[in-house]
A and B are shown apart, each in its own frame.
Chain A
Amino acid sequence: MTTPEMEATIDDNPVPESVAEAPGGGQQGQWRLIWRRFTMNKLALVSLVFIVLLILAAILAPLIATHDPLYLDVSKSLLRPGHENHLLGTDVLGRDVFSRLIFGLRTALIVGFVAELAALAFAILIGLVAGYVGGRPEQLLMGFTDVMYAFPGYLFAVILVTVMGRSVLAVILAIAIASWVGQARLVRAQTLTLKGRDFIEAAQAMGAKGPRVALRYILPNAMGPILVATSFGIPGAIATEAGLSLLGLGVQPPTPSWGSMLTEGIAYTQVAPHLMLAPAILFALTLLAFNWVGDGIREAFDTTGRAQ
C-alpha cells in the first residue's frame, strides 16, 4: 500500500504542519483572529499595503503614467533619469521607462495572480479529491501529478507559446501548468492530515456528506499553508514570465512587460544602468513584499508558535 503519511511529510510543504483547527467557535471568528495576528506583524502589514498600492497603480496606470508607454522617439534614445520630464529616463527607442514600468505592472500582476489562482484552483480540485476520496481515484490523480512533476515545464511553455502565439493567455497557461503540481501535493497532504482529526470524524458522524465535509471543514482548515504557498507562487509566476521573455517566449512586444524590460536592461547594463536597475528594483521589491505577506500569513495561522 502507498503510505500517505510518508508522502505527506515528504512532499514539499515549506510550512511546518500546524494548522489551526476549527475550535468550536464559528469560522468567522477564526478568520478574524487570524487577521488580528497578521496585523501584528508590521513587516507583513507594510508589504500588504505595498501590494495593494501596486494593484491600484496597475488599475490606474493611464492616470499615473506620464507618457504613452508605446510612444517612441529615436532621437530621445537612452536619456538618463530625470532628463526632459522622463522620471526614470528613456529606453533605446526613446520610450519613457517609468510609464512602461507602470503599464508593465499590469502585465506582471495579471500574469502573477491569474496564473497562480488558476494553478491553485486546479491544485485544490486534484489534491482535495485525491486526499479525501483515496483509493483508485487517488492513485490515478497522483500518478498524473507525478508525470507532470517529472515533465519539464519549459517544454510546455515552448509548445503553448508556439501554438497559441505570445499572448498573455498562453504565458499564463504555461506558468499555471508548470506550478500546480507542487500545490496539488500540498493540498493532498493537508487533506490527509486533517481527514483523521476528531472534528472531521465528528462532522461525518453527524451525517455530513463527502463533498460538504471536504469543502466546509477540510478546505478552510488547510487554507493556511495553501495561502502561504500562493503568496510565494505569485512572485514566482512574475519571475517566470521574465525568464520566458529572456528566451523570446514571454508576452508579445511591444506590450510592456517587466520581463522584456529586464532582458533589455541586462544587455544595456554597461551603457545605461537605469534600464536594468529600474525594473530590477521594482521587481525585487514586489517579490519581497509577497514573500513577507506569505510569512505573515504563515505566522498568523501558526497557533503553536503563538503559544510560546
Chain B
Amino acid sequence: MVRFTVHRLVRAIITLVMVSLLTFVLLQLAPGNFADLSAITSGATMTAQGQRDEVMSSFTARYGDQVPAWQQYLIFMKGAVTWDMGPSYKYPSLTVEGIIAGAFPVSATIAVLAVALALLVAVPIGVLAARRRNGWLDNLLMFLVTIGNSVPNYLMGAFLLIILVGRLNLLPSGGWDGPLNMVMPVIALAIGPMAVLARYVRSAVIETLREEYVTTAIAKGGPGRTIMVRHVLRNSLIPVVTVVGPIVASLMAGTVFIETMFRIPGLGQYFTGAATSRDMPLLMGTTLFFAALLVITNVVVDVSYGILDPRTRMERRPA
C-alpha cells in the first residue's frame, strides 16, 4: 500500500511539471502579450508599438531584466513551489496565491454543494430505477435524467435567472453575500452531475443485485429495506464514490459561465480572464492549481479505493 501510494505521488509530481511546461510553452506560442491586449481592450491603441514593448518588459522585469523565457519559467516555478508567485499582471494589487486562496473556497463550496445536491437526488432515483428495472418508472426516471443532462449549465442558469428572479423575484440575482446567492448556481451546476450519477447508481445497484450474497440474503427472506441499505446500497456506492471525486475536482476549478452569470468570485473567472489577457503568472498559477487538484483527487481516490474495496485488496496481496 505504501509503495503504491509513493509511486502514485511521484507520478503526480511528474504530471504537474509536464502540465506547467505545456502551459508555459502554449502561452509563449499564443499571439499577443498582456500589454498589447490591455491596450486594445481599453482603447489605448494609439500607443506606439515601441512603448507597449517597454511596458511589457516592465512587467516581466520581476523575472530579471531581459531574461529568456525559460528562465522566467524557472523563476515562476520556484515561486509556485514556495507558494509565492507574486502579483498578477491583470490584478496588480493582488498576488496569484492570494487570488487562489480567496477564490478557491468559493468555487469549492459551490462544487461540493452542487455534487451533494446531485447525489441527494441521484441516489434515490438510481435505486428506484434499478429496482423497477425496465418498468415504466425506470423509463420515466431515466428519461427525465437524460433531459437534465441535455441542457448545458449556462442555459440552465439563464432559465433559473429569468424565472426565479425575473418572474417570481424569489432570490437575489447574483453576488456573494449569503446562502441565498448559492441557490441558483448550485442548482445549475448540479443538473449535469445529477444525470451522470443517477445512471451510475442505477447500473451499480443492478450489478450488486446480481451478486450472490445479495441473492442469498433475499432468498433467506430478510426484510427488503434492510437488504437494500445494508448490502446493496453500501456495495453499490463504492464505484459511485470513485466518480464523485473527479466530478467535484473539475467543478472546483470553477465554471466561468455560472460565475459571471451569478457574479460569484470563483476561480473560473480568473482562469479564463488570465488566458484571454495573457496574464502569465495568473494563468500558470491557476492551471497548476487546477491540475494539482485533479491529480491529488485521483491519487486519493485510487488509494482510498484500495482501502475501501475488500476485493481489490485481496487481489493485490500476492503481488
Contact = CB atoms under 8 A, between A and B. Distances in A.
B31 A162 contact: yes
A78 B102 CA distance: 44
Interface in A189-232: none
A145 to B, nearest CB: 10
**B interface: dominant SS:** helix
Nearest to B313: A6
Contacts of A9: 239, 242, 305, 309, 312
B162 A235 contact: no
A172 B53 CA distance: 34
A99 B253 CA distance: 38
A243 B315 contact: no
A147 B40 CA distance: 34
Given A10-B242, A266-B155, A147 B22 contact: yes
A1 interface: yes
B271 interface: yes
A242 B152 contact: yes
Nearest to B21: A147
B319 interface: yes
Nearest to B294: A150
A124 to B, nearest CB: 22
Interface residues on B, range: 35 or more
Interface string B281-318: 00100010011101100000110011001001001100
Interface string A5-48: 11101101011100000000000000000000000000100000
Given A3-B319, A291-B150, A15 B203 contact: yes
B16 A150 contact: yes
A284 B146 CA distance: 10
Interface in A233-288: 235, 239, 242-243, 246-247, 262, 266, 269-270, 280, 283-284, 287-288
24 contacts: A3-B4, A5-B316, A10-B242, A15-B203, A16-B204, A43-B139, A143-B14, A146-B11, A147-B18, A147-B22, A154-B272, A154-B275, A155-B287, A158-B30, A158-B275, A163-B31, A239-B152, A243-B154, A266-B155, A270-B162, A280-B151, A291-B149, A304-B210, A305-B206
Given A146-B11, A284-B147, 19 more contacts: A3-B316, A10-B242, A16-B207, A143-B15, A146-B15, A150-B19, A151-B22, A151-B23, A152-B271, A154-B271, A163-B29, A163-B30, A247-B256, A247-B272, A269-B162, A287-B149, A287-B150, A288-B147, A304-B210
Interface of A: 1-3, 5-7, 9-10, 12, 14-16, 43, 143, 146-147, 149-152, 154-156, 158-159, 162-163, 235, 239, 242-243, 246-247, 262, 266, 269-270, 280, 283-284, 287-288, 291-292, 295, 304-305, 308
